[in-house]
Structure 1
């Protein structure tokens, strides 16, 4: 194939808390203020007000799709109280994307949640599934014409966040570690703990509940996105590889078997040894967060997701490289 079909989606992705700014009702805003050394999001990129400009930049760059989220903490600032103004705001964003020729791919939950939800216990509580279902029911009416909806972004990373929070509250962990940027200590990227599978199963139930609402009330294709780490191991450690894959990734891919699509999000690879993930060694070719530069990771991840889901269509919802050197991209050619 030398040309892409007209229907091919080529876009960019953002998360509300990363770009909108002043998401003051969210658990992440609270966490930023209470965690020493954590960077404050503050005004962020002010995309809450400048979204039309952002979309114009995407359009002018030749892209035809934009994956963005609606922020639960804004839409439901108190339990059961939904802001009509915020729902209208996100509907305007959807319509603006369509007006500019961008296919909107909407994410309903991208890590951040309402502060009150976190104070109730967040995803650790059984009632979280019903809370999420009710939120999705409130959002569904603004999704008219949307063709792609992701219920939850990276539930395996979300489960890891909840696991880390549990460990910090119990005193088993002394400091916060970001599940997405990790950070490099002494040139070595630290290995994050495996997510609690019980939390993962609860998120899977929340996903199914949301999917049922959306299939009943919209015409959108529905799935969720999974952080794929392109795991590999030497032959002697294949059993450990299967164990780590399941708890960190395959549990969530298996939950996508009945979805319209599964979002694959891949950035690098991860080797598994006898004790689990092996820390990445320092190397001049590593990215800014200490991971190897592996353009082939997305191909590995797509093939693995296709195999585990037994043929669920794949949408690559995130892929990239952490670098401040644009020339690095030339090596992908």
Structure 2
């Protein structure tokens, strides 16, 4: 299908699409002030890893290490977005999506000494300018895991100095891009950066030590806290926030031990991040679960981390059912006979609703929320020029219904970003797992709009027509 925005809209006829997606008439999603958009991340789509002064990142190093990424895939080309950004923006606009969440690549915009790389900065300026010309609301994530390798060589997020280097990066980007960004997110999913990157080694940089994970998390959150006042000073008209991935933990039985196990799962997955941000302290239960892993915290750190937020981004994908490990922790107890995605993750929309309502009750200062990622992977194939991703359509409808239920329960939710705009490099799973609402043929770079995207477009056209 053509990438010209008007051609995309014209080609998607609401009358020709059987619709199992559109929300009911009383859904909050019909409100015009509820943003519906899509999200991507720099390393997952851009490619061009050695062009125009871009430096190596930890994901370049990690994915080039044999055995770290499925099939030996890397982000060297990815979706070639660095060269195809104009047609990709046209595609996004053509789908009628109202908002776009993207990330900037730290290694693309400054050198080892912190000197700005004009070619990298100009790429993001052109991209964001085109998005604003199309009337698309922009959310920019400063850190979506692609740490410059030279900083990792000096300790990465285990080195407190990295937090200060991040503040310099935030200063550069917010000065250069002021007026082009509607909302800044400092970090994406610090849980993944800290735990998967430094705790169990499944993600870059591939370190595996529990003590490393908690110290890396502290420095990530410190980096966030240092950046927020800089963003406020340089770009006062934009919103400032952070994006956390959250997980619903459920107990395998009503026993006190299993209930405690579910609680501890949510402590390490949710409260580890949200308590410092919103309460100014780490949950002590975390160190019951992971004894002797307390990070080094200097005076004033927790106040810095708890800088007021304009919004909180929430990424949700699945729940985890757990049982007591017989000691002081938990072990997974996957239920049988449940719906799962290509990732093996359970489809459990009630978990999103329950978490949102729970956060609303737990944190008195909970800021407005954007669902910054929600979606699923499936083994999508193009057949006769079409992609019928029926499971994704059902998934999205049920999760949007869960969001609506949370709104009706009093949670302030301002928008929802589909993960992802297009199939892309799925980290340690390479290119096998497809999360996009647009199919990408990685050999030809041809984009094919999936049926899920057509139905989202149909809904947005109907909402716009209502006025």
Please state which band the TM-score falls in when normalised by the shorter chain.
0.7 to 0.9
Residue of structure 2 equivalent to 1:71: 105
1:154-169 aligned at under 5 Å gives the runs 154-164=189-199
Residue of structure 2 equivalent to 1:218: 235
Preserved contact between residue 223 and residue 256 of structure 1 (Cα < 8 Å): no
In structure 1, C-alpha distance between the alignment counterparts of 2:336 and 2:203, rounded to whole Å: 19
Residue of structure 2 equivalent to 1:127: 161
In structure 2, C-alpha distance between the alignment counterparts of 1:65 and 1:156, rounded to whole Å: 25
Residue of structure 2 equivalent to 1:97: 131
In structure 2, C-alpha distance between the alignment counterparts of 1:230 and 1:319, rounded to whole Å: 14
* Alignment pair present for 1:246 and 2:264: no
1:292-307 aligned at under 5 Å gives the runs 292-307=346-361
Among candidates 14, 21, 27, match of residue 58 of structure 2: 27
Instruction: Give the deviation of 1:82 after TM superposition.
Output: 1.8
In structure 1, C-alpha distance between the alignment counterparts of 2:42 and 2:186, rounded to whole Å: 14
Distance 1:65 1:116, change over 3 A: same
Preserved contact between residue 232 and residue 271 of structure 1 (Cα < 8 Å): yes
In structure 2, C-alpha distance between the alignment counterparts of 1:27 and 1:194, rounded to whole Å: 20
1:1-333 aligned at under 5 Å gives the runs 1-2=26-27, 4-24=30-50, 25-36=56-67, 38=69, 39-145=73-179, 146-164=181-199, 177-178=202-203, 196-219=213-236, 220-233=238-251, 234-235=253-254, 236=256, 237-257=258-278, 258-275=308-325, 276-280=330-334, 283=337, 285-310=339-364, 311-324=366-379, 326-328=389-391, 329-330=393-394, 332=397
Deviations 1:35-54 (A, max 9, x none): 33522222110111212211
Residue of structure 1 equivalent to 2:465: none
In structure 2, C-alpha distance between the alignment counterparts of 1:26 and 1:85, rounded to whole Å: 17
SS at match of 2:101: strand
In structure 2, C-alpha distance between the alignment counterparts of 1:200 and 1:177, rounded to whole Å: 16
> Over aligned residues, Cα RMSD in angstroms?
2.4
Preserved contact between residue 254 and residue 308 of structure 1 (Cα < 8 Å): no
SS at match of 1:152: strand
Preserved contact between residue 256 and residue 309 of structure 1 (Cα < 8 Å): no
Distance 1:94 1:45, change over 3 A: same
User: Where in structure 1 are there 5+ consecutive unaligned residues?
Assistant: 168-175, 180-192
Instruction: Give the deviation of 1:254 after TM superposition.
Output: 2.2
Preserved contact between residue 215 and residue 222 of structure 1 (Cα < 8 Å): yes
Distance 1:296 1:323, change over 3 A: farther
Instruction: Give the deviation of 1:228 after TM superposition.
Output: 0.9
Query: Structure 1 stretches (4+) deviating beyond 4 angstroms?
Result: 281-284
Q: TM-score, normalised by structure 1?
A: 0.86
Q: TM-score, normalised by structure 2?
A: 0.62
Instruction: Give the deviation of 1:270 after TM superposition.
Output: 1.0
Deviations 1:216-239 (A, max 9, x none): 211221111111111222442333
User: Where in structure 2 are there 5+ consecutive unaligned residues?
Assistant: 1-25, 51-55, 205-209, 279-307, 381-388, 399-467
Instruction: Give the deviation of 1:16 after TM superposition.
Output: 0.2
- Structure 1 residues 293-302 or 101-110, which shifts more? 293-302
In structure 2, C-alpha distance between the alignment counterparts of 1:238 and 1:28, rounded to whole Å: 37
Deviations 1:1-58 (A, max 9, x none): 3462222211110010000003242111111112335222221101112122112112
CA radius of gyration, larger in: 2
Q: Which has the higher contact order (CA 8 A, sep 6+)?
A: 2
Distance 1:304 1:178, change over 3 A: farther
Residue of structure 2 equivalent to 1:182: none
SS at match of 1:35: coil
SS at match of 1:216: helix
Distance 1:136 1:203, change over 3 A: same
Say how many residue pairs are matched.
311
